[in-house]
Structure 1
Amino acid sequence: MDNFIKDYQTELTTTLIVLVVFLILRFLAVMTIRKIARISDINQVRAVLVGRYITFGLFFILVVAMIFIWGVDFKELGLILSSIFAVLGVALFATWSILSNITSGIILFFYFPFKIGDRIRILDKDFPEEAIIINIQAFNVNLKKDNGELLTYPNNLLLQKGVVLIQKQVATGEDLESSF
């Protein structure tokens, strides 16, 4: 054990520093997201979801940093990564819509000017009616039409179409949930 510590003292120290930086960055990111959610009156569930996405991204950066710190042989790593990315490429190409909706969900978290309870109209020829936003999730937005129908609208289409705010905060979230 003493030989291991002596032989890899630089790598162990650097790993410890990178782990501490990762934990600090994760803490700061999560606290910032919570603060943005509180200031912008955004649902806490959405804040937790975006926090998980940011944590996953930071973890990916951590893994890459560990690979460089420990000096993994790039020829072996390249073969493994190319095999993994080939499989993932096929799988992700088949599910590009899901990834697009997740990315749109993150964008909507930080930029979407409408909140749960607002009455909106999406400028779409297939959906010319007004609706109330019931919930904003990772993949879609749940809307309630005037006739009581529940509509699930994908996040990526919500970013692509124009959205008109008809009325702010028509009802509270509890009023909307109790109507089902």
Structure 2
Amino acid sequence: MSDYFSLHQDKIINSTIVLVVFFVLQLIIGIIVRAIGKSKKIFTSRAKIVARYFSVSLFLITLLIIAFIFGVNIDDLVVVFSSVFAVIGLALFASWSILSNVTSGIILFFSFPYKIGDKIKIHDKELEITAIIEDIRSFQIHLRTDNGNLVTYPNNMLLQKAVTLIEKDAFDK
């Protein structure tokens, strides 16, 4: 066992450094996302979801770097990743709207000018919706209409339609 550690000491030290950098970056990204959420007065639960997306992406990159450190052949990784991406691609093609809504949810977190409690009007040819934003989730936004109905509207559609702010912080009134 000690022979293994002495033989692979450099790889173990480099992997440890990569893991420490991973945890530090994860902490920094979490702090930045929470700070952005706080500055835009976004609920912490939304900030945690977005931070989790970044953490998973960073974790996958870390695994890739550690694989390179331990000398995994690039050709082997290409085969593994192409197989995995083929399966994921088929799954996401079958549920393309889910991926689109998750991506839109991340975009809404950073650039959506309205927040929970604002009364908005969504201009759609088929259906114009005037409602108060009740919750913004990963896949959809929850809107409460004046007559009390709950409308769930997909995030990707919200980015495609014109939205007008009618009243700021309608919950507070």
Tell me which interval the TM-score lies in, with the shorter structure as reference length: over 0.9
Aligned equivalents of 2:77, 2:39: Cα separation in 1: 44
Query: Do structure 1's residue 144 and structure 2's residue 147 form an aligned pair?
Result: no
Aligned equivalents of 2:105, 2:57: Cα separation in 1: 15
Aligned-pair CA distance for 1:94? 0.7
Tell me which residue corresponds to 2:41. 41
Tell me which residue corresponds to 2:59. 59
Normalised TM-score (structure 1): 0.91
SS, match of residue 121 in structure 1: strand
Which residues of 2 match residues 2-151 of structure 1 at below 5 A? 2-151=2-151
SS, match of residue 104 in structure 1: helix
Aligned-pair CA distance for 1:137? 0.3
Aligned equivalents of 2:156, 2:129: Cα separation in 1: 19
Instruction: Give 1:56's aligned amino acid.
Output: V
Could you list the runs of 5+ residues in structure 2 that have no partner in the other structure? none
Cα deviation digits, residues 50-109 of structure 1 (max 9, x gap): 111010011011011111111112333333332222211111111111011001101101
SS, match of residue 158 in structure 2: helix
Query: Do structure 1's residue 158 and structure 2's residue 158 form an aligned pair?
Result: yes
Instruction: Give 2:107's aligned amino acid.
Output: I
Aligned equivalents of 1:86, 1:38: Cα separation in 2: 38
- Shift of the 97–129 alpha-carbon distance from structure 1 to 2, 3 Å rule, reads closer
Aligned equivalents of 2:138, 2:104: Cα separation in 1: 8
Aligned equivalents of 1:66, 1:147: Cα separation in 2: 56
SS, match of residue 171 in structure 1: helix
RMSD between aligned residues: 1.4
Aligned equivalents of 1:70, 1:49: Cα separation in 2: 32
Could you list the runs of 5+ residues in structure 1 that have no partner in the other structure? 176-180
Q: Percent identity?
A: 47
Q: How many residues are paired up?
A: 173
Aligned equivalents of 1:125, 1:149: Cα separation in 2: 20
SS, match of residue 16 in structure 2: helix
Normalised TM-score (structure 2): 0.95
Instruction: Give 1:55's aligned amino acid.
Output: S
